[in-house]
Amino acid sequence: MSQSRLRVGILGATGTVGQRFIVLLQNHPQFEITHLGASERSAGQTYKKIVRWKLSQSMPEDIGGLTVTLCDPAHFEGCSLVFSALDSSVAGPVEDAFARAGMAVFSNAKDHRMDSDVPILIPFCNPDHLDIISHQQKSRGLTGNGYIITNANCASTGLVVALKPLQDAFGIDKVIVFTMQAVSGAGYPGVPSLDIYDNVVPYISGEEDKLHVEPRKILGRVEGGDTFVDYDVTLSAMCNRVPVIDGHTECVSIKLNKTATLEEVQKALKEFKPKLPALPSMPPVSLQLFEESDRPQPRLDRDLGRGYTVAVGGVRKCNVLDFKFTLLSHNCVIGAAGGSILNAELALVRGYLK
C-alpha cells in the first residue's frame, strides 16, 4: 500500500496543528508521512523525543521514530507535497522555497492567503478556486508540483461554510460575527493560564481583520483563470478567546439580499451539499443543522464528522439584521489540518498532484 501513496512532509510537525496532521493522516489511503520538519530547537532529534505530544490519540509508532529536520527542501527529497503548520513568523519564505523546489504546499499560515495568485481553498465552498494554480505556476515560474494553496483562518472557515448555502440561495449583504475561540487556536504554549482560566479575553491580535477580508475572497469567484473577484459582502467581527480547549463558537447575524422566511433559511442550511467528488476525508455531512436551541456546544459537538463537520443551530429572526444563528467548527481539524488534507485530496482528484 505504501508504494502507491504519495510521500508527504509536515512542516511545523511538532506544533498544535502539526500533531493533528500526524493523527489525521494515520492510515490515509493516498498520503504517507515520510518527512518531518520544525525549528532548530527540534532538528536532529527523533520526533518522539522532541515533541510535547498533546493529543489524546497515541502518537503513531513509525512517526515517533522519524528524525526531525530543518524546513529546507533539500531534506525533503522525494516528497510530492508538504503540509505547512509553520508559525506565521517564518512560514512565508519557507513555503516559497518548497514551491520553487517543485513541491505542492498546503499551508495553514496566513502569509500567502491574500496573495493575488494563491487560493484560500475550502472544498465545501470554493473548489473551483483550485483552477488558479496553473496561472500561479506560470506567473511564478514554478515547475513540477510546485505551488501554494492556503486554507483560511480557523474562525473564517466555520463562518464561510455556514454562509455558503445562504449566499447561493439568497445572496448576503452584511454579516456581524462575535467569536468565542478555543485556546488551541493560539498554538502551544499559547495563552498563559493566568490570562484565560476563569476569564474571557476580548481581543485576538490580527483576527478581526482576517474575518473582514478572507470570507470575501473565499466566497468570491475566479475570473479568466487568473483573477480573484471578491464577493460583495460587508463583515464586522469581534473576536474573543475563551477557556475552551478545542472548537470555535461564533454568533452570527446576517442581512440577506433577498427576502426569505425562517423556514427557507433553515431549509437552505439543512440541504447544503457541496459539489465535490468523493474524497477520503469528506464527512458524511459538511454542515449539520441542529433543531435544539442550545446546540451546538464545543464539548458535545466539535468532533462531529471527526471534526470535519461544521455545526449550526439556533437559527432565528434578528431584530437588527434579518437572521441570526450560532455555529461551531473544530479549529484544529476543519479549521486547520483537516482543511488542508481535504485541499490536497481535491488537488489529487483534479490532477494537480503526482
Residue number, 97 or 321, with CB nearest to ligand NAP? 97
The reply to whether 161 sits near ligand NAP by the rule CB under 6 A is no
- Applying CB under 6 A, among 34, 69, 80, 108 the residue interacting with ligand NAP is 108
> What's the min distance (Å) between Cβ of 87 and ligand NAP?
4
Q: Which three three-digit cell numbers place residue 299?
A: 464539548
State the catalytic residue, choosing from 154, 239, 330, 332.
Answer: 154
Grid cell for residue 321: 439584521
Query: How do beta strands 287-289 and 310-317 pair?
Result: parallel
Measured CA to CA, the distance from residue 309 to residue 158 in angstroms comes to 9
Q: Is 318 a catalytic residue?
A: no
Among 85, 161, 254, 348, binds ligand NAP (CB under 6 A): 85
Interface with ligand NAP (CB under 6 A), residue from 91, 239, 311, 341: 91
Distance CA 123, CA 116 (A): 19
Q: Is residue 191 a contact residue for ligand NAP (CB under 6 A)?
A: no
Q: Distance from first CA to last CA of the chain, Å, rounded?
A: 16
| Residue 330 is among the residues annotated as catalytic for this protein | no
Do 149 and 118 form a contact (C-beta atoms < 8 A)?
Answer: yes
Nearest distance in Å: CB 320, ligand NAP = 30
> Which grid cell sits at 43?
532538528
DSSP H helices, the chain, are 16-24, 47-50, 61-64, 88-100, 133-140, 154-170, 193-196, 207-218, 262-270, 298-301, 338-349
Give the nearest distance from C-beta 167 to ligand NAP in angstroms: 22
Segment contacting ligand NAP by CB under 6 A, of 14-22, 23-31, 164-172, 200-208? 14-22
Stretch that binds ligand NAP, among 27-35, 39-47, 215-223, 310-318 (CB under 6 A): 39-47
In the complex with ligand NAP, the residue whose CB is nearer, 53 or 178, is 53
